[in-house]
């Protein structure tokens, strides 16, 4: 199975998602939603090509949607680097231009 690495930026995204969901919908819903995102990461590890290419936004990046969020990632040999987890209302161009898989 492919290795999955979540960058610091993507970790911050996940923390913000958890905080927002807990504040707006409660701890139970936050736990359920984070579980769905975790399942999305598992699917990425099993099938790295599941996302669609977004070379028009950033060369070499792919996007995989889970519920109301998009996981932006790059494939590198036997590893996946998750660079962002953005809500469907967020503009990817604004958030991806300064992020990398490092």
Nearest-Å Rg of the Cα atoms of the chain is 13
Are 82 and 5 in contact by the 8 Å Cβ rule? The answer is yes
Between the CA atoms of 32, 79, 73 and 38, what dihedral angle is there, to the nearest 10 degrees? 0
Judge whether residue 101 has pLDDT over 70: no
Any idea which fold 3-96 has?
YaeB-like fold (3.30.2310)
| Domain spans of the chain, in order of start | 3-96
| pLDDT number for residue 68 | 94
Which of 16-25, 39-48, 85-94 is least confident?
Answer: 85-94
- Mind listing the pLDDT tens digit for each residue in 71-95? 999 998 889 999 999 998 887 777 6
Angle, helix 8-25 to helix 27-46, in steps of 10 degrees: 150
pTM: 0.90
| pLDDT number for residue 84 | 95
Average pLDDT, the chain: 91
How many C-beta neighbours within 10 Å does residue 60 have?
Answer: 12
What is the DSSP code string of 4-70? EEE-HHHHHHHHHHHHHHHHHH-HHHHHHHHHHHHHHHHHHHH-GGGSEE-TTTSTTEEEEEETTEE
Q: pLDDT tier at 102 (50, 70, 90 boundaries)?
A: low
Identify which has the larger pLDDT, 9 or 95. Answer: 9
Cα 84 to Cα 60: distance, rounded to the nearest angstrom: 14
């Amino acid at each position: 199975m492919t290795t999955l690495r979540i960058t610091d930026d993507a970790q911050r995204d996940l923390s913000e998602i958890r905080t927002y969901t807990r504040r707006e919908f409660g701890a139970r819903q936050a736990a359920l939603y984070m579980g769905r995102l975790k399942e999305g990461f598992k699917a990425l590890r099993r099938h790295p090509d599941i996302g669609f290419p977004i070379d028009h936004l950033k060369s070499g990046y792919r996007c995989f949607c889970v519920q109301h969020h998009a996981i932006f990632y790059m494939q590198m040999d036997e590893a996946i680097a998750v660079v962002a987890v953005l809500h469907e209302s967020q503009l990817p161009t604004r958030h991806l231009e300064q992020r990398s898989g490092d």
